[in-house]
Amino acid sequence: MPDDHRPVRNEEEIHLFVERMAMAFADVGFPRMAGRVLFTVMSADEPLTAAEIGERLEVSAAAVSGAVRYLTQFGMLVREPVKGSRRDRYRMPGNPWYEATITKTGLYKNFIDIANGGVDALLGQDTPAGERVAEMRDFFLFVQEEIDALGERWRARRAATGHSDPAG
Amino acid sequence: MPDDHRPVRNEEEIHLFVERMAMAFADVGFPRMAGRVLFTVMSADEPLTAAEIGERLEVSAAAVSGAVRYLTQFGMLVREPVKGSRRDRYRMPGNPWYEATITKTGLYKNFIDIANGGVDALLGQDTPAGERVAEMRDFFLFVQEEIDALGERWRARRAATGHSDPAG
DNA sequence: CGCTTGTTTCACAAACTTGTGAAGACAGTG
DNA sequence: CACTGTCTTCACAAGTTTGTGAAACAAGCG
């Protein structure tokens, strides 16, 4: 028995964090179960198997299967076969997914394109309606550009505070 | 009959814009009908009555009622009683709602708070899990700060290109 | 090879969302 | 003070989403 004086994990509080974070993500369109799985793995010190994820969340294997398929598709989760076992392990990628998610998402790109169509349909900016839509488009355009630049500043800041830049 | 050579509105295309924009907003959690009403009013040159909105969208008065209640709550739509009539008119506010929506929304604030709870639950940043969650929190914190500053830059830019700063 | 264990797929059930019609409330008007 | 036109509320129906259990599938092991 190792003489281990570290405090033990408060699984209850951790689970609360997982559920809250997943819900916050669900509120902005992220699939519910995918969020729960994602943050379960994130809050584990070791990579987890599908069965372990299912246990911790008390959900079916089917639900886990669907969620990890979704998550690995976008590189938010990495699947690792375990040598000499049928099980796979799941872990967080080394490159933080949220950075790419926020900065590369093109969230506003969609708004901009549609708003552009609106300006055309409204015969340019010479009407009150056209002017309003054009202004909205310009704002989203501005935000999109700013957020593109933001990713660069974040990486610079992290490098300055002594973080490496690991790959997934 | 006025000798008016302006091209006429292509209502079909305009409606397409309304529906697309509403759907794009719905995809990020905005109520579907509220979006349709919002962009219908936005693409009208004159303020509209509830009945007119209902006609254009071919939806019930009940649906319009619910949507405008939602929208006026957040100042995205302004309700104006019409003198000598029981009808109200709805128009876009002078202060563009999207600016406040994006910059003041505290979208990331929520993530930050929850992630903070996660770091606590994970006993600080001394574990792999705690470190991961803390890094995510720091990123959202960074983004939130940047977006706060972004609003200021946008207003400065608009002022420079000769826009006034009207109130709602 | 068949057995055992773990994963994926699929049809379905439960829960939730969303918009409707109908009834009710409200405010000007004659 | 009833009438009329407008807006709001409410119960419900239709459509979605979401996760489950069961069955099919896959892969190591004896």
Q: What is the DSSP string of chain A?
A: -----SPPP-HHHHHHHHHHHHHHHHTTT--HHHHHHHHHHHT-SS-EEHHHHHHHHT--HHHHHHHHHHHHHTTSSEEEEPTTSS-EEEE--SS-HHHHHHHSS-HHHHHHHHHHHHHHHTTTTSSHHHHHHHHHHHHHHHHHHHHHHHHHHHHHHHHHTT------
**Mean pLDDT, to the nearest integer, of B13-24?**
95
Beta carbons of A53 and A41 less than 8 angstroms apart:
yes
Q: pLDDT tier at A76 (50, 70, 90 boundaries)?
A: very high
pLDDT over 70 at B48, yes or no: yes
CB-CB neighbors (< 8 A) of A162 in chain B: none
CB-CB neighbors (< 8 A) of B111 in chain A: 21, 24
**How confident is the model at residue B1, as a pLDDT?**
57
**Considering chain B, what percentage of its residues have pLDDT values greater than 90?**
68
Rounded CA-CA distance B68/A37 in Å is: 37
- 3-state DSSP call for residue B127? coil
Residue A86 Cβ < 7 Å to strand D = yes
Q: pLDDT tier at B85 (50, 70, 90 boundaries)?
A: confident
**How confident is the model at residue B168, as a pLDDT?**
53
pLDDT tens string A80-128: 988 777 889 999 998 889 988 888 888 899 999 999 999 999 999 999 9
- Report chain B's mean pLDDT, rounded to a whole number: 90
Residue A93 Cβ < 7 Å to strand D = no
CA–CA distance from A58 to each of A3, A51, B82, B127, B157 (Å)? 32, 10, 57, 24, 52
Q: Which of residues 123-162 of B touch strand C (CB under 7 A)?
A: none
Q: Of the given ranges (A107-116, A128-137, B76-85, B111-120), which has the lowest mean pLDDT?
A: B76-85
Q: pLDDT tier at A166 (50, 70, 90 boundaries)?
A: low
Q: Which residue has the tokens 């990123």?
A: B139
**How confident is the model at residue B15, as a pLDDT?**
95
**H/E element, B129:** helix B128-160
Beta carbons of B29 and A29 less than 8 angstroms apart:
yes
- Residue count of chain A: 168
Q: Which residue has the tokens 């907003």?
A: B25
pLDDT over 90 at B86, yes or no: no
* H-assigned helices in B43-127: 50-57, 61-73, 97-103, 107-121
**How confident is the model at residue A85, as a pLDDT?**
79
Query: Is this model's pTM higher than 0.85 or not?
Result: yes
Q: Which residue has the tokens 């009208």?
A: B44
Rounded CA-CA distance B62/B65 in Å is: 5
CA B70 to chain centre: 11
Distance B60 CA to C23 C1' (A): 15
Q: Of the given ranges (A124-128, A130-134, A138-142, B81-85), which has the lowest mean pLDDT?
A: B81-85
CB-CB neighbors (< 8 A) of B122 in chain A: 9, 14, 17, 43
- Nearest nucleotide to A84 by CA–C1' distance? D28
